[in-house]
Amino acid sequence: MIDRYSRPEMADKWTYQAKYQAWLDVEIAVVKAWAKLGKIPKADAKKIVKNAGFDITRIDEIEAVTRHDLIAFTTSVSETLGSESRWFHYGMTSSDTVDTAVALQMTSSLDLVIKDVKMIMKSIKKRAKEHKMTLMVGRSHGIHGEPITFGLVLAVWYDEMKRHLDNLKQTRKVIAVGQVSGAMGNFAHAPLELEEFTCKELGLKPAPASNQVIQRDRYARLATTLALMASTIEKFAVQVRHWQRTEVYECEEYFAKGQKGSSAMPHKRNPILTENITGLARMIRAYATPAMENVALWHERDISHSSTERFWLPDAFVTTDFMLHRMNNVIANLTVMPENMMKNLNLTGGLVFSQRVLLELPLQGVSREDAYRIVQRNAMKVWEKIQAGESTTNKKGESLYLLHLLADKELRKSLSEEQIRECFSFDYYTKNVDNIFKRVFK
């Protein structure tokens, strides 16, 4: 974990203190379950629950000798107990403790991520309603297409984040499982009821079947869920980066008073937050690879997964949490420039209305092929003006494309001047925005 890209709320869930506390929570839950089953004296169980503790420095000292972190932990805890320590970690294997404890850490962390996603959805919704009818040009291949609204762009974002929210909730169910099934998962040394009581105490469900570990397809599901969401967040970031380009300049990351953009060029206002988000998303996606490779463990277990999970689990959660908060900050404080959006919408002299004209001609009996030829040849005349750096409007501010269409004799045989001018109305492109919003934000 890198402090620069960490928030304490998430980072604290993956400290050594948090890890060992989760281990202790599992061990104590098992002690309670054994007592409930009558296997160990209730008086001893009460002593363990009350007095069991650990010391991280002492664990490190013991591990330096044992070369086994779980044994170092159980030894440290036993030193805080009396004779009742014989019941601590009774009938368990290391992975019973570790994997069940990691489930506690993962579910707690995922709850925070889910909270983050709800936060960003709230910000997107607010800005979408604010700019529901703010006109801008839609782009495909980076080229101007037809008029849309900025609110519609944000509605698409909201709808995509809702899918991620649903996916995160489903993934939480997948990872919220524990095990106390013993060394090979055969329950030879403990009844199934022990696992059931323990998991209920911890707010988990028992894995229906496990061997020595919780199966790593569950972890891979988590990693790919976070990676997929990171890709969506990067998509948002890339769009903001494009909008902030000087040649476009329709939106801009908030630039605070006193902020500096370049050590060499004082005029610069760079999209540093969204560029950072792009980099963070690359890291989160990278964690999916070791998580998927961990699925194929040897037989009932090996520990090839262990080292990678010490890296990717905390880093994926911490980075995802940080990235979501950073993107939320970008969206909530995004500077939107409707005037520049309209300027760019009009940049091509009315070419954005070409499909409207194209669709009117077949209604008048013109074939699709002839209609396309007529509409395109007039559009190409405007492109020639754009290539030459000439104005795409006349002195009255009328678009050249409109003027070329009005002067096209073949076109005028099918469409009147009024019909042609009617094709250049922005209202045509916004007439269903309210209905789309009702579907998205219902």
Q: Which residues are catalytic?
A: 141, 262
- Burial classification of residue 342, based on how many CB atoms lie within 10 Å of its CB (0-12 exposed, 13-18 middle, 19 or more buried): middle
Break the chain down into helix, strand, coil percent, rounded to 5: 65, 5, 30
